[in-house]
Structure 1
Amino acid sequence: MSKHFEDARYYLGRAAEHATAGIKEELEPIESRVRKLVGEEEEPEPSRVDSIKEDLSELEERAEGEAREAVVTAREKLAAYRGSETETEPETTEE
């Protein structure tokens, strides 16, 4: 990919992040007024421990998937090796 496209993609991502933050900041007072009228309390932010647990579970799932893929690949390579090994061995005849 061209360096120009990479730069453009980066800056578009940054612009989206800044726009999201700006919208959240502008809507905070409206959200709190609506919550007061409706009677709902704000959802508590997840604690650091909860976010770490969530990250660890995601990593665990990803590691399991990668391990499964590695096992499948290893089995395929082993089967291919065994298949090529039997084809190249000369057959011996017993006399």
Structure 2
Amino acid sequence: MSKHFEDARYYLGRAAEHAKAGIKEELEPLQDRVSKLVGDEPEEEPEPSRLDKLQADLKELEERAEGEAREAVTSARERIEAYRGRKDEKPSE
């Protein structure tokens, strides 16, 4: 292909990209208006309700209580093992 045709093809491609961007920019306000009229707007994320906040708080408390319970069980097991170890060390009479 001739260098002139390659250059023309390149510049036509660039022109098409610029035309597409320009059309998109010009039609964006119209698209927003139509979306509002039709009711097809993207919905904003609603703020969490009181129930959602309470559920999140309860979940956090549950997780914290679970952790504390695990620590208590681990501590109790260690004390039992230590007690059994001392009991086994005493000389039998």
Q: Structure 2: which amino acid aligns with 1:81?
A: Y
- Kindly provide the amino acid, as one letter, of the partner of residue 51 in structure 2: V
Task: Detail structure 1 runs of 4+ shifted over 4 Å in the superposition.
Answer: none
Matches within 5 A, 1:1-95: 37=32, 39-87=41-89, 89-92=90-93
Query: Once the two structures are superposed, what CA deviation does each residue of 1:19-73 show, in whole Å capped at 9, x if it has no partner?
Result: xxxxxxxxxxxxxxxxxx5932211001011101111011101101110111011
Superposition RMSD on alpha carbons, in Å?
2.0
Higher relative contact order at CA 8 Å, sep ≥6: structure 1 or structure 2?
2
Q: Distance in 1 between matches of 2:92 and 2:48?
A: 67
**Structure 2 gap segments, 5+ residues each:** 1-31, 36-40
Task: Tell me which amino acid in the other structure corresponds to 1:55.
Answer: D
Say which SS state the counterpart of residue 47 (structure 2) adopts: coil
Asked which structure has the greater CA Rg, the reply is 2
Report deviation, 1:85.
Answer: 2.1
Partner amino acid for 2:78? E
Q: Give, in angstroms, the shift of residue 80 of structure 1.
A: 0.8
Q: Distance in 2 between matches of 1:41 and 1:91?
A: 78
Work out the number of aligned pairs and report it.
Answer: 56
